[in-house]
Structure 1
Amino acid sequence: MDVTAYLDRIGVGDGVGADVRGLRLLHRAHLQTVPFENLSIHLGERIVLEPEALFDKVVRRRRGGFCYELNGTFALLLEALGFQVERVGARVHSGSGRMGPPFDHMALLVTAADGDGPWLADVGFGRNSVEPLDFRSRVNQGDPAGVFTLVELPGGDVDVVLDGVPQYRVEQRARELADFRPTCWWHATSPESHFGRSTVCSRLDGDGRVSLSGRTLIRTGGGERTETTLGTDEQVLAAYREHFGIVLTEMPRVVRPDDAS
């Protein structure tokens, strides 16, 4: 782990501490600089959940990824800085009350070097908290993204609720990165996975977001939303470079366009 290179990637200087203040700084910086994106699926790139491959993609190649890649890489940085990190599985709530499969999502439970924690850190869930959430708290927690509540369920799982709407359900059991490989493969290859139906690239922009969904550039913030349709491949590739720092030599081609919604 080249900590200096990683900190440079997210725009943070050396000397950040392994305390809660440092965790908040790193969490926001990561969300602002490393995009959530599923482009590898549509570029025919294999997604490899190994530390060296993750570091190469996110830091050296200055790409993003989806939850397993982003939180997987962020965990390596935090551990190198002196935080204690547990990788935990989660199931994502669908809008219809159904749950995604086990290991549908990966989040992090982080404890500072002085024992303060655990804190729920998640830089891989699209719209989520800008700052880590106090995993010990069961009262409302204000955040630039909204009001979050952690609701403990019978059996010990915890629902992450945003503005009254459940987002995902965390299990309180430490996992290894390798435990997430089967579901990562499923999301990358299954016709039932929404990740194969369209391209997405999104990052925090101030307290709003900038996103590229297919050919639509979307900006949100301050209660406003603007959409711009990009008409040519050249405009799309330029938007990846300008807004996300991703330099591509070819357009991602949606692997299952007939299923796109």
Structure 2
Amino acid sequence: MDVAEYLARIGASAEDDLATLTDRHYHAVPFENLSIHLGEPIDTHPDALFDKIVRRHRGGFCYELNGLFAALLAELGYDVAFLGARVHAGETDTAPLAHQALRVTGDDRVARLVDVGFGGFCVPALELAAPSTQVDPQPGGDVEVVGPDGGSGYRLDGREYARRDFGPTCWWTANHPDSVFTHGPTCTLPRSPAGRVTLAGHQLIRTAADGTRTEDELSDDEALAAYRDLFGIVLDRLPVPLHPGGASPSA
């Protein structure tokens, strides 16, 4: 891995602490599922992820974003493990390992939760064993994780998993008609100091820090320009929904 190139992609330096690296990554790399709707394979090998996210200036979803960030943190000397989670989806939970997050331990030997791949919120290196506004350890080793505002999140399994263990749920997420990720393209990025911009299909959604939301329907050319100007993603064609008709993910 070219560490310097990766750090430049997220606007960080090797001297930054874990929380800063996490925040810079979350604000620089979009959460997006465009490959599913462009007919591109989802390859979670670090070399393929580096080419996609760093060299081609794309984003990804949890298995891609956290999968590559894990490799960077390991290069910087951190001890990194993959953790799996069930996402709270309405009245039900998803299957196990439907979400991937990271347990990261530095020189202080404190295990922290790092997550740059959830889409709706980030977990900025919070201690796994210490209750906080986002992390709530449970009896038996599981951890409940919520957004900074208390919004719905996921139930984290405290056990360590291998990268390959997430292969089946990654495939399901990217291919199955019941997966919301296959229903339509979405691309989202938080804005500094607060707020968010999202392109869901042709609908451009801007959310201000106070929750005010504006929506605009874009033409094909305007959508391509939005990918380029708002997210730094240059496409030669628009993504076409793999399994249209259902509700697609939003953030």
TM-score, normalised to structure 2, is 0.93
Match of 1:144 in 2: none
Question: How far did residue 232 of structure 1 move?
Answer: 1.1
Question: How far did residue 136 of structure 1 move?
Answer: 1.8
8 A contact 1:31–1:130 mirrored in 2? no
Question: How far did residue 51 of structure 1 move?
Answer: 1.2
Distance 1:195 1:93 in 2: 15
Match of 1:24 in 2: 19
Match of 2:84 in 1: 89
Distance 1:169 1:202 in 2: 23
User: 1:1-261 alignment to 2 at 5 Å?
Assistant: 1-13=1-13, 15-17=14-16, 22-96=17-91, 98-115=92-109, 117-129=110-122, 131-138=124-131, 140-141=132-133, 148=134, 150-162=135-147, 163-206=149-192, 207-260=194-247
Overall identity of the aligned pairs, in %: 48
**Unmatched runs of 5 consecutive residues or more in structure 1:** 142-147
SS of corresponding position for 2:100 = strand
8 A contact 2:113–2:124 mirrored in 1? no
**Which stretch of the first structure deviates more once superposed, 175-184 or 162-171?**
162-171
Distance 1:192 1:81 in 2: 38
Question: How far did residue 130 of structure 1 move?
Answer: 5.7
Read off the aligned partner of 1:252 and give its amino acid letter. Answer: P
8 A contact 1:110–1:119 mirrored in 2? yes
Q: Kindly provide the CA deviation profile for residues 38-90 of structure 1, in whole angstroms up to 9, marking residues without a partner as x.
A: 00000000001111111111111110000000000000000000111111111
Question: How far did residue 166 of structure 1 move?
Answer: 4.0
**Unmatched runs of 5 consecutive residues or more in structure 2:** none
Equivalent residue pairs, number: 246
TM-score, normalised to structure 1, is 0.89
Distance 1:154 1:118 in 2: 17
Distance 1:100 1:81 in 2: 33
Read off the aligned partner of 1:235 and give its amino acid letter. Answer: E
